[in-house]
Structure 1
Amino acid sequence: MTDFVQSAVADGVMTVTLNRIDKKNALTQAMYDGLTAALSQADTDPAVKVVLLVGNNDVFCAGNDLEDFLTLKELGPDSPILRFLTTLVRFKKPLMAAVAGPAVGIGTTVLLHCDLVLADKAARFQLPFVALGLCAEAGSSVLLADRVGQAKANEWLLTGKPFKADEALAHGLINQVVDGQVCEIATAMAKQVAQLPSGAMMATKALIRQPNQARAEKAIFDEAEQFVRLLKGDECKAAIKAFFTRR
């Protein structure tokens, strides 16, 4: 577990906290390892009934740390990113998220694997893959359309335009918008969910996810193959260079 990914269990809820606030919780490969370790622990710990993924009340996740990401040589099954994504898509217990501030790239696509998502009204979502010369990831090439419809998925993925919490709610990406204290409100909800019969929750989640499980896993690996190819291409190199120049 990295210091930038922390976990704690109380009242049946494992809270997994992204704690790299000065970098807006941009994910490094070490942080992916930390997330995988937390989910793996939660999966086997009978004291954990629900997992809640949070940042803080100002920031959720600004996507991948591009400097760290550029060191990526491949995206094989044992790479930190794919180990996290396969653990995520196979996770059996209820998974919740509390979103505030930026939710960019993986900060948005991870929500497609969550069962309940609360967002602050000031949260901002974005899928900027094409603008960076890249493609969809985390199974979003199929799961986003399943969740929000093909037309809206096309718009968000192909244009990369940012969108607000009320738009995310209107199209079914998230469950609820709150005005402040989203982490505290989500924690209270998670504790309520944790009091429900665990076996019934897991069985229901499995039934809900079953029709798209194989498609989602296949999409994750298909996307990874294209992602690495594009990452090495001139369009991506130019886009990332422009990003660092602007920054």
Structure 2
Amino acid sequence: MKRRARFAVLCAVLAVAVGLAVVFVARNDSDAASGISLLRAEDRLPNRTATDWVTYADHVVVVTPTEEKDQVRARGAEFVDRDLTLRVDEVLWSRPKAPRPAPEVFGWRALGWSFKGGDTGERTELAMESAPRVETGHSYVMAVVWEEARCSEGDPSIPAQWGGLGSSGVIPFDDAILGQGESEGRVVTVAQAREKVDSPTSASGLEGRLAGKGATALVAELRSATPAERRTFLPAAPCG
């Protein structure tokens, strides 16, 4: 059992890129050998069930990260994100009247590393608790939504881009098997994914229901789900 000393740290918000609104660092001093610090966050959109996906996603796609680079780090910053290029290998589902077709390639802002005292020589990987970090060498199923540009007064402008629903909107998909692959910065098997879902403290979501199955099972779930009333969680902030 991991022992986590939790303290809140306001990070550069990845609200649009991965669907997270507020990020908190959960340091795990007893597991320093892993080189990973797990984060907790509030999801910006509902994303645990098939109903959530068909209500808020525009497309569900299979992706493979093909390129990764560090985001430019501000002087004195203690965190750095990663900019990924994701190749769309297959479109599994699309919402009727989606605002635009599924992309063939798109950018994705992902968690990167933290530094002690700004020393980049001692970097610690950051990963979201119970979610993929999204790394090259792996494949994923993603529920994505097109986000228009946002220009909130007093905040930096956010360009239009493809974004995620939240932490349960990305599922490991190595070898075309749901739940198998990278999660929390580690490689997990289907058995490990099921064990985690079956634990007394875990509430099973879409990934837990389908662990060990292929894309066909996911598509069947999505096609049989009925969209709920689509709610708005962020105030309008049009640009121009």
TM-score range, shorter chain: under 0.3
Larger relative helix fraction: 1
Q: TM-score, normalised by structure 2?
A: 0.27
Larger relative strand fraction: 2
